Amino acid sequence: MAEYAKEINRRRTFAIISHPDAGKTTLTEKFLLYGGAINLAGSVKGKATARHAVSDWMEIEKERGISVTSSVLQFEYDGYCINILDTPGHQDFSEDTYRTLMAADSAVMVIDASKGVEAQTRKLFKVCAMRHIPIFTFINKMDRDANDTFDLLDEVEKELGIATCPINWPIGSGKGFKGVYDREKDKVITFADTEKGTKEGTSLEISLSDEDTLLENLGQEAKDKLFDELELLDGAGAEFDLEEVRSGNLTPVFFGSALTNFGVEIFLRHFLDMATTPLPRKADIGLIDPVEQDFSAFVFKIQANMNKAHRDRIAFMRICSGKYDAAMEVKHVQGGRVMRLSQPQQIMADERKILSEAYAGDIIGVFDPGIFSIGDTICMPKESFQYEGIPTFAPEHFARVRQVDTMKRKQFVKGINQIAQEGAIQIFQELSTGLEEIIVGVVGVLQFEVLKYRLENEYNVEIKLEQLPYEHIRWIENKEEVDVQRLQGTSDMKKIQDLKGNPLLLFINQWSIGMTLERNEGLKLSEFGRN
Ligand code: G4P
């Protein structure tokens, strides 16, 4: 065991979250500059596809046979083995994006300094906060005119509800960007704009007490402003506390510019220092320790039809404990079967590399002949436990779905159920009328297109989608205590149920949710569904 403890302890597995265009791809590319990339899993490619309009994108996905991918990327730096989980944005934002966060031990949040906290960041942050994983903030694009630093921190605190602790402090922005003050070193590090694609440039490090050199490099105005701000900061900012960072209550904040490669390596170094090794994970028999326990993993994503000719599915697993060796037999707990995982791969968008071994913290993809479901546990044959399930995330777009040819009801129901089982869509029914009317909910609107395309191509069923105006869905947490039929909602509220008969409520806006809670004392609503 000790022999692989070292391998596990040098792993760091994190997701990057941001709103599109904040600089996630650029930052990732710079990280790779510092380490030898072992496996580039579509990050660079992701950047290209992300820029395509929906129609182009669909073409690309069609060629690939519909794979709404989030990719994984592995690289080495300073003795660490780092796994970055990419969370796709733009049109391909989907429930998978959220599920990917379930496989990470920490998150890096990239914020555009001129935009502050944006919609997609907010959504992804909520999921990280639910898991209490450490969140590291990189405020990017300081080489462009930025919002006031205190305002930015305030926004993160108020909008996201997490305390902030700036590790460095920016000096100006845009054309007047002079660098950062490193609070730990107690030194100013001057901005050096380096060529794209090269390592960090030669910055000066100037001690705060060296006023002449500071003046020379910053100018009077910037120097005075820095001193004023630092005084305010010492009085106001939260103290750094590693425990608070690790429990997700405090986010260390870094300022930099990914494009000019300023502040990236500093960030990476601090991040690796502060982030945790693969974390123990909750199972029905208690916490499973990554090092003490033999191999175990859980499925967090299923991707269908990467290869159109074979209609295969790939199940993505996060290894939670021990060492995986391709020759060994494992147990699929939910299926009750002992088996060898078929074609274990390091996952990349298009290319796949067959793996012989992997460790806790790593992500592998295996060929799935249709037996795995999201949340399933894989462990050693002699063991039998189940990891805590992955929640169902609130869809934000809803449509009523009908098949055009009523004779094809059977194929329609089969197809839509299979696609739902893969987790690409969620299906609901009217609370009163039952199965005849199917309502589909999706996290990203592109999933409607994917559903239509797949039903036509794989199940030969043409459908009509009628989009509904609802944007919010809530699970009823205390459904045993509530008589759903008698709930008093707003006039725009709709009562539905999922396939297991759990009641849910659809709303057009936040206001209606508030009103409904007000009108029904004791009602508890949740944005996450527990399976
Ligand atoms: P994303 O993955 O979060 O969507 O963002 P991405 O890295 O693709 O960056 C979005 C745009 O912002 C890109 O410009 C990128 O060059 C730019 N950018 C990223 N970091 C910085 C930064 O620190 N400073 C400045 N000034 N710009 C930054 P683009 O014009 O859309 O693409 P490109 O043609 O430059 O590749």
- Best mutation site among 16, 19, 26, 254 for ligand 1 pocket (most ligand atoms within 8 Å of CB): 26
* Closest of 69, 128, 91 to residue 249, by C-alpha: 128
Higher pLDDT, 229 or 91: 229
Residue 229, pLDDT score:
93
Residue 69, pLDDT score:
45
Higher pLDDT, 442 or 423: 442
| Ligand 1 in reach of 377 Cβ (< 6 A) | no
Whole-prediction pTM:
0.86
Q: Which residue lies with its CA nearest to atom 19 of ligand 1?
A: 23
Residue 212, pLDDT score:
93
Mean per-residue pLDDT, 470-492: 91
Residue 192: pLDDT above 50? yes
Residue 495, pLDDT score:
93
Mean per-residue pLDDT, 4-16: 94
Q: Tell me 238's DSSP state.
A: P
Residue 349, pLDDT score:
43
Mean per-residue pLDDT, 356-363: 91
459 CA distance to ligand 1 centroid (A)? 40
| Ligand 1 in reach of 257 Cβ (< 6 A) | yes
SS3 45: helix
| Ligand 1 in reach of 256 Cβ (< 6 A) | no
Mean per-residue pLDDT, 362-372: 86
Residue 461, pLDDT score:
94
102 CA distance to ligand 1 centroid (A)? 27
Spatial contact of 363 and 314, defined as CB atoms under 8 Å apart: no
257/255 Cα distance (integer angstroms): 7
Q: Find the helix or strand (DSSP H, E) in which 264 lies.
A: helix 264-274
157 CA distance to ligand 1 centroid (A)? 25
Q: What is the pLDDT of residues 251-279, one digit of tens each?
A: 999 999 999 889 998 899 999 999 999 99
Average pLDDT in the chain: 85
Q: What is the pLDDT of residues 343-355, one digit of tens each?
A: 776 654 445 566 7
Atom of ligand 1 nearest to the CA of 46: 2
Mean per-residue pLDDT, 434-442: 80
| Ligand 1 in reach of 258 Cβ (< 6 A) | yes
Residue 173: pLDDT above 50? yes
| Ligand 1 in reach of 24 Cβ (< 6 A) | yes
Q: Write out the E strands in 369-424.
A: 377-379, 392-393, 397-403
| Ligand 1 in reach of 259 Cβ (< 6 A) | yes
| Ligand 1 in reach of 397 Cβ (< 6 A) | no
Residue 51, pLDDT score:
37
Indicate the pLDDT class of residue 323, thresholds 50, 70 and 90.
very high
Residue 200, pLDDT score:
54
Q: What is the 3-state secondary structure (H, E, C) of 102-166?
A: HCCCEEEEEEECCCECCHHHHHHHHHHHHHCCCEEEEEECCCCCCCCHHHHHHHHHHHHCCEEEE
Residue 360: pLDDT above 60? yes
| Ligand 1 in reach of 141 Cβ (< 6 A) | yes
Higher pLDDT, 291 or 37: 291
Atom of ligand 1 nearest to the CA of 144: 26
- The amino acid occupying position 23 is G
CA distances in angstroms from 148 to 39, 70, 114, 355, listed in the order given: 38, 33, 9, 48
Residue 68, pLDDT score:
36
Mean per-residue pLDDT, 458-477: 94
Residue 199, pLDDT score:
55
Question: Percent of the chain beyond pLDDT 90?
Answer: 56
Q: What is the pLDDT of residues 34-87, one digit of tens each?
A: 876 544 433 333 333 333 333 333 443 444 333 334 467 788 899 999 998 877
Atom of ligand 1 nearest to the CA of 20: 4
238 CA distance to ligand 1 centroid (A)? 31
| Ligand 1 in reach of 22 Cβ (< 6 A) | yes
- The amino acid occupying position 195 is E
How many Cβ atoms from other residues are within 10 Å of residue 479's Cβ?
A: 15
Q: What is the pLDDT of residues 389-401, one digit of tens each?
A: 888 888 999 999 9
| Ligand 1 in reach of 28 Cβ (< 6 A) | no
Atom of ligand 1 nearest to the CA of 140: 23
| Ligand 1 in reach of 19 Cβ (< 6 A) | no
| Ligand 1 in reach of 447 Cβ (< 6 A) | no
| Ligand 1 in reach of 143 Cβ (< 6 A) | yes
Mean per-residue pLDDT, 331-350: 79
CA distances in angstroms from 431 to 494, 502, 523, listed in the order given: 9, 9, 18
Q: Which residue lies with its CA nearest to atom 6 of ligand 1?
A: 23
Q: What is the pLDDT of residues 89-103, one digit of tens each?
A: 665 677 888 888 999
Indicate the pLDDT class of residue 282, thresholds 50, 70 and 90.
very high
The number of residues making up the chain comes to: 531
Q: Which residue lies with its CA nearest to atom 21 of ligand 1?
A: 259
140 CA distance to ligand 1 centroid (A)? 10
